[in-house]
């Protein structure tokens, strides 16, 4: 996909809008809608470029307990819930161990440290998990692999960052399911302003905010043993919107 002509921003320049404590809005839709949306907002945002590339590949391994405590908390709508993952920025070879905490006020608080992208935990990584989550590394096992490509937009007021995820696929036990026609947009801000140009463009195109957890959807469509009643309607809607057949194995 060719992107419109955005002004570019580097990774270093983007540091001033990390938004590790933020509010999130998510939207998802068929990829055919994306070029027009980008054209509408190209003057309002910078587009992240790294070594001349703007569509950047990511790889993520999520961890959970053997009895799926984190997935169950999401499925049951529990607030004050966690995700633990190792995420790699594939082109650069940089990886982070991350904890994401969604509190009961709807804010997402993210902590991260550099790591090696593997299924083991160093002493430093174990200390990080002990400090920022109620879990220990001895109870965590890999639960899902997720790959996607991402465009990252930074509002020229430096108070908002938007991620646009494409080419989404999930892997569990060497079985891969792709949602290649799906686009997931996340608008991340400090919560103090509703004046998001991308948010306004989405609403103008009648695309409404709609929660989407790659972890929960990915696990629901790859693991037949999980309770997933809370996500079945969303999965059916994804199939309808993207015209993709997803077999709940």
Q: What is the pTM of this model?
A: 0.90
Short-list 228, 199, 198, CA closest to 216:
228
79 — phi, psi (to 5°)? Answer: -85, 175
| Nearest-angstrom CA–CA distance, 205 and 186 | 16
Superfamily of domain 19-242, CATH level 4: Hypothetical Protein Pfu-838710-001 (2.40.320.10)
pLDDT digits (tens, 9 = 90+) for 32-43: 999 999 999 999
* Domain ranges for the chain: 19-242
Q: Strands 160-172, 175-179: parallel, antiparallel or unpaired by DSSP?
A: antiparallel
Token pair 């469509």 in the structure block, residue: 221
Q: Which two tokens stand for residue 208?
A: 């409404």
| Nearest-angstrom CA–CA distance, 155 and 159 | 7
Short-list 248, 50, 16, CA closest to 154:
16
Q: Which of 16-25, 184-193, 203-212, 215-224 has the lowest mean pLDDT?
A: 16-25
| Nearest-angstrom CA–CA distance, 237 and 87 | 28
Residue 192 pLDDT more than 60?
Answer: no
Contact 218, 142 (CB under 8 A): no
| Nearest-angstrom CA–CA distance, 241 and 236 | 9
Contact 48, 14 (CB under 8 A): yes
Q: Which two tokens stand for residue 85?
A: 């993952």
Length of the chain equals 249
Short-list 208, 219, 212, CA closest to 177:
219
| Nearest-angstrom CA–CA distance, 28 and 148 | 14
| Nearest-angstrom CA–CA distance, 221 and 95 | 26
pLDDT band per the 50, 70, 90 thresholds, residue 1: low
Helix (H) / strand (E) element for 41: namely: helix 34-41
Give the pLDDT mean for 137-151.
97
pLDDT band per the 50, 70, 90 thresholds, residue 69: very high
224 — phi, psi (to 5°)? Answer: -70, -10
The rounded mean pLDDT for the chain is 90
């Amino acid at each position: 996909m060719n992107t419109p002509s955005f002004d570019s921003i580097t990774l270093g320049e983007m540091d001033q809008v990390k938004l590790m404590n933020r509010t999130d809005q998510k939207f998802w839709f068929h990829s055919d809608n994306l070029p027009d949306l980008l054209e509408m907002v190209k003057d309002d945002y910078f587009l992240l470029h790294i070594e001349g590339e703007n569509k950047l590949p990511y790889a993520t391994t999520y961890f959970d307990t053997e009895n799926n405590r984190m997935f169950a908390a999401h499925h049951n709508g529990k607030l004050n819930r966690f995700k633990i993952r190792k995420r790699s920025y594939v082109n650069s070879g940089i990886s982070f161990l991350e904890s994401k905490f969604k509190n009961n006020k709807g804010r997402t608080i993210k902590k991260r440290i550099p790591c090696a992208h593997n299924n083991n935990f160093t002493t430093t990584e174990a200390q990080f998990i002990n400090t920022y989550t109620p879990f220990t590394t001895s109870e965590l096992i890999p639960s899902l692999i997720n790959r996607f490509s991402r465009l990252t937009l930074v509002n020229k007021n430096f108070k908002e960052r938007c991620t646009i995820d494409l080419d989404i696929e999930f892997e569990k036990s060497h079985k891969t399911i792709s949602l290649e026609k799906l686009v997931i947009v996340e608008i991340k801000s400090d919560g103090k302003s509703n004046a998001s140009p991308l948010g306004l463009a989405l609403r103008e195109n009648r695309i409404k905010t709609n929660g989407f957890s790659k972890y929960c959807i990915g696990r629901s469509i790859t693991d037949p043993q999980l309770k997933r009643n809370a996500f079945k309607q969303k999965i059916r809607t994804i199939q309808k919107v993207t015209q993709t057949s997803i077999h709940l194995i």
